Structure 1
Amino acid sequence: MFIVLLRFAENRAAAAEHMPAHQQWIKLGLTDQVFLLVGGIQPGLGGAVLAHNTSRQQLEQRVAEDPFVVHRVVDAEILQIAPGMADPRLGFLLPAR
């Protein structure tokens, strides 16, 4: 599983211009069942995505296609997490035993 941090970069002022395409990118990630949760990093520092059901290479490609990344509205950082324990409601994130 992965956490993608999308922190505002030098072209932050162009966020409104690229927001519709960025939202389409998010919707595709949700439809493809790769994104579990998408939200803002507070206070107004950018966004974050919780992703799973993908490889790191596939996620890197997907993130590279985000219009916010393409147009340098944000810088992306991908953190990979190897789940070890979880609340039963999140058991689907644990590796099969």
Structure 2
Amino acid sequence: MFILSLTYVKPNEEADKHMEPHMAWVKEGYAKGWFLASGRKVPRTGGVILATGNRAEIEAYVSADPFAVHGVAEYEVTEVALTTVNEGLEALKG
């Protein structure tokens, strides 16, 4: 599993300009079966996506996010090898 942590490097107003294409990109990540959960950081300094799949494919997809393309946010991709999960979340362990 991967934690995709994005941090805004431009003001929220700039992020808002690219939010619609970014959300279309997020929805496509779900459609591909890669994204498991996502949301904004609190306070609003970026967001987090929980993802699964091949690291190279995930990293290539991240580079195509409109936020990354337009320099609105930077990503940190962290791989996590889960060993313990709550009942019903076994699929997260890969």
When the two structures are superposed, what TM-score results if normalisation uses the length of structure 1? 0.90
Relative to 1, partners in 2 of residues 1:73 and 1:12: Cα closer, same or farther, differing over 3 Å?
Answer: farther
Structure-2 residue corresponding to 1:76:
75
* Cross-structure match for 1:60: 59
Gaps of 5+ in 1: none
- C-alpha displacement of 1:19: 1.1
Q: Once the 2 structures are TM-superposed, how far is the Cα of residue 49 of structure 1 from its aligned partner? A: 0.2
Give the corresponding residue for 1:2.
Answer: 2
Letter of the 1:16 counterpart: D
Matching residue of 2:88:
89
Amino acid at match of 2:8: F
Percent identity for Structure 1 against Structure 2: 34
Asked whether the equivalents of residues 6 and 47 of structure 1 are also in contact (C-alpha less than 8 Å), the reply is yes
Contact 1:3–1:80, Cα closer than 8 Å, also in 2: yes
Residues in 2 aligned to 1:29 and 1:46: alpha-carbon distance in whole angstroms: 17
1:94 shift after superposition? 2.0
**Matched residue type, 2:25:** W
The aligned runs of 1:5-84 (5 Å cut-off) are: 5-10=5-10, 12-52=12-52, 54-84=53-83
**Distance in structure 2 (CA, Å) of the matches to 1:70 and 1:12:** 16
Q: Secondary structure at the match of 1:88?
A: coil
Give the aligned CA root-mean-square deviation in angstroms.
1.3
- Measure, in 1, the Cα distance between the counterparts of 2:87 and 2:42: 28
- 1:10 Cα deviation after fit: 3.3
Q: Partners of 2:80 and 2:13 in 1: how far apart?
A: 32
